[in-house]
Amino acid sequence: MWPAGAATGVGSLPGTDPAEALRTVFGELPDLPFLTELPGRGPGAELLGRTAGLLVELPVELYAARWKLTGRPGRDLRRTRDLLARDLDELVEVADGYSGVLKVAAGGPWTLAAGLDLPTGGAVLRDRGALRDLAASLGEGVARLVADVAARVPGASVLLQLDEPSLPAVLAGRVATESGFGTYPAVPEPDAADVLRGVLSAAGVPAVVHCCAPDVPVGLVRSAGAVGVAVDTALLPSDAAGMDRWGEALDAGLGLFAGAVPVAPRRGADATAADTVRTYWHRLGLPAATLPAQVVVTQSCGLAGATPDDARAALRYARDAARRLADDPGTG
């Protein structure tokens, strides 16, 4: 659904001013801008708190620096929702007259289940009933966010990004328990796919799953119904079995949001990023003709920890790398 030769950002930027951040994004990434996230504003602006604020009829609060489910809405939840409301108000101003694809992001159900605590302690991940309720609530909350953005920017086609950095750990049984002395049982891939599919379906718009950890389960992401997968290209597999899995998924049409631009880029990062993507695409044996439309160039990870100058440069280099790929996808 994105234009050929597009670039975008992962989501987070440095700073605390949403208007300035949005102006930067719409200026540097005109083909695929995104609703920015500014974790520097504190709790409620970071991935977990921002997403927890979307939950419907499942209020949350901060306790001992961790987000947990609670019995009634309070100050922490109001702050989280106020931060997002301000972002959306600024989006209306900056995106006035915009027509095209607009990306919005939220945490995925497995990352939320691994990072959000039950009222009695321990992660939601340990309780199947609570996990089911969480996924349903998240699906409804994400659908409301999508509808809100679509209403505020009438010319936009909304693309959802679900951030799932904890998904590989959930599948491998590596999520630590509250004590730190054990881990929660591994979740079977079919079960993980079912939960993810439910949230994607509830959102009602095309969605990309972003995972900045090793061992991204590309087959699971594809089977859950995502139209694309966003990864750090440095973590893409180089072994035959891993490349076969990725080649199969991409050959079937799954979009690749290739995180090839460093968070602190040097001069020439656009050429290096384009070469990285082009080389890997052809190593997979995929046709050059499909690359510009199927690949979106991004940064390797979020930019919250970058300097403002580096963040702006990383966005610009991603845009320039994408245009290089559109002009010269290679001869694979």
pLDDT score for 195: 98
User: What's the whole-number mean pLDDT along residues 212-241?
Assistant: 96
pLDDT (tens digit, 9 = 90+) per residue, 172-183? Answer: 999 999 887 899
pLDDT score for 36: 97
* Residues 6 or more apart whose Cβ sits within 8 Å of residue 216: 167, 168, 229, 231, 235
pLDDT score for 332: 54
Same domain flag for 236 and 217:
no
pLDDT (tens digit, 9 = 90+) per residue, 257-272? Answer: 999 999 999 999 999 9
Is 50 a residue whose pLDDT tops 70?
yes
Domain membership flag for residue 33: no
Domain count of the fold of the chain: 2
Same domain flag for 66 and 197:
yes
Is 149 a residue whose pLDDT tops 70?
yes
Question: What is the Cα 111 distance to its own chain's centre?
Answer: 11
pLDDT score for 324: 97
CB burial of 1-35 (b: ≥16 within 10 Å; e: otherwise) equals ebebbbbbbbbbbbbeebebbbebbbebbebbbbb
- The domain of 263 spans 1-28+227-332
Same domain flag for 232 and 218:
no
Is 327 a residue whose pLDDT tops 80?
yes
Q: What percent of the chain has pLDDT over 90?
A: 96
User: What's the whole-number mean pLDDT along residues 314-322?
Assistant: 98
Domain membership flag for residue 141: yes
Domain membership flag for residue 139: yes
Same domain flag for 187 and 61:
yes
**Is there a contact between 113 and 124 (Cβ–Cβ < 8 Å)?**
yes
pLDDT score for 330: 85
Domain membership flag for residue 34: no
User: What's the whole-number mean pLDDT along residues 276-298?
Assistant: 97
pLDDT (tens digit, 9 = 90+) per residue, 27-38? Answer: 999 999 999 999
C-alpha torsion sign, points 271, 277, 281, 287: negative
Same domain flag for 148 and 233:
no
Same domain flag for 147 and 66:
yes
Among candidate residues 222, 242, 257, the one where a domain is terminated: 222
Is 331 a residue whose pLDDT tops 80?
no
Among candidate residues 174, 199, 222, the one where a domain is terminated: 222
Same domain flag for 92 and 2:
no
Among candidate residues 222, 241, 263, the one where a domain is terminated: 222
Domain membership flag for residue 36: no
Same domain flag for 191 and 46:
yes
pLDDT score for 64: 87
pLDDT score for 208: 98
User: What's the whole-number mean pLDDT along residues 197-218?
Assistant: 96
Same domain flag for 183 and 238:
no
Q: Is the pTM of this model over 0.85?
A: yes
Same domain flag for 211 and 239:
no
User: What's the whole-number mean pLDDT along residues 69-74?
Assistant: 94
Same domain flag for 313 and 212:
no
Same domain flag for 13 and 160:
no
